[in-house]
Structure 1
């Protein structure tokens, strides 16, 4: 049976119309994305212009943060995200104007534009970038982004004035590790590093995983002393991919950092710490509300119980059984109760849309302690260092409304409310229905 062989002329015509419509929509979207880059680039230029005219010593860093925060609060996203978009937009608009213009007219998509620009990231001469762009844009009009990326790297090499060794030295400065939550109690751990080391680490994990599998197969094929015994259930059934992940986490959590440790072995002694919120009904096995990691990532009940059982001391967060509001925090082993209460209440930085965990933030006095502000729950809250600086050194103003709610007023006069994240708890509603006689 061949696809669409039985389609009528009208149906084939409809398909053609839908395809044309989709192409038109994609071109419109690409044009709007280019326009958005233009707006973000102008916003960045505005910040730098203000800083330049006022001769700011930080060369516009704080002003750019303030502008990004204004835009981000209106969009209800993180200002770090907006500032990163601003930086990328300036880079694309100013360094590759021909590519940006082609995207703006719908000739190429945002994915094609990104592939062209990324391949020529290290071209320093403006004339070389323009010549490269003029060659790549027509190619991108008839090729997919992955083909554009491969071809772009080859074309860019013709314009490179610096050797691969020099460029790699700069690229190494960008090495990093990051975490991305993907749901269902799972997260991704990303790593950017030198290709030889990353591929070497991956190959080592592969060989170790295959070694585990070979050992399991040997055990399964070994003769049994019990002829009538059922099929062995202790044989490792994990795939190579699963074994790679398990081995990598095992090495990261328990291995010593060879070549990087201190003479006293302090780095090897460091253990990872996470904050887990577990409703007591979940621990008892009667609840359906999942435990949460750092107030945002659900984790499975088994892991939550294991962490709670192994903890030498942990905070108990008391919540209202009807409203779920935070009532108090205590600890089986006494400590700094005020800090624990604030951390449990706020869970994250209290600037709108910021997701920094409270444990990584500063505790800020709303009313300055030096001016008589009390060190009390009503006058304290968590702000990450970025937004702590923004509060004290920019036109952003915060007002405490009570019950942990903040009202942030932006430089343009817009007001954004930020309330504490709801507690991960179970609430009960009284059933007023009368039982039948």
Structure 2
């Protein structure tokens, strides 16, 4: 795992050239994808115009189908696939012109565009949609698509005409369970339901599976028998089948009561104003977030808040939104909670693994005198933790004097005074630097409107 440590200067230069070439190719692909989407959108518009001129009763459905079939035959693709692409392209080009233009300029990729368009699909007001698109494109220029998804959802939520609570009440009516037959005697069971319940179900199955793995491993060591070879996915599937068919996970492990006592864990961030507001539909109160990923309705957030045995309070600056501190009414390991609240996910550029699944790493190694404090700790997933220690990738904490530089100097200086921002500067084996900043906190900010 130390191959790159021994790279020669020519090899390092070659890697740098390859990185630059790949980046140029990706920008070219983004531009060409935008050109293709523009052509597909024009094709759809022409088909609809033809149908409108002839007053077709189907409002252009058959005309679009005919054009899609022509394009599909030319490029050897299904006409259904082409028709879907035409619809998606029209939606992006006509409703999110700024996003499409940014992709055409090579600033963002097609994946970024899909994330932005999906998150803002329900924004009907053109002015709100334009403001959202401009902010989302700015975020997309420095974030990977998987990180952008969470940011874009939060941005779009600020322009929604209806609150997440109102929309959730309607969406819950669509909850369902379905079965889809597959090959080789297999079938797929799917469920659409409230995010808190679905994540809770998955977390409980995971905890049960881990308990089984530990119990079976201990039993195998004591008896010398063969250990259970099932993967976590297989165990979760077996447990779900047992629970659904028998009511309890009786077919797994030697202690069913132990498994049955395991409770699901979900992490919800609720701005205090959302809890305090007497009107749950108040547009000024930001929604709660489930595990830092998706918004949930206020009613569910308040119900969970009222029943939780302990609280983690995240204190943020009222203007900049920067994380200041974390405390708890029932004190536990405060530093760990602070880091998890600040980082929220792996701190390697582009990685979105949740902090609770990551290692806490000393930026400056403890063996070399690095302190165990918030300024010297950050979450890294196991993959990037290993990369940091076994490759020529290097990371260091951004100095506070640097945090006050640039166009955001004032805000950075405020953050430096009140507490570290946690910015990390990564240097690749080719000498390129990348700055990773902690995600913004889900909080309320006050601005002077004078």
- TM-score range with shorter-chain normalisation? 0.3 to 0.5
Structure of higher CA gyration radius:
1
TM-score by length of 1: 0.47
Which TM-score applies when normalising by structure 2? 0.46
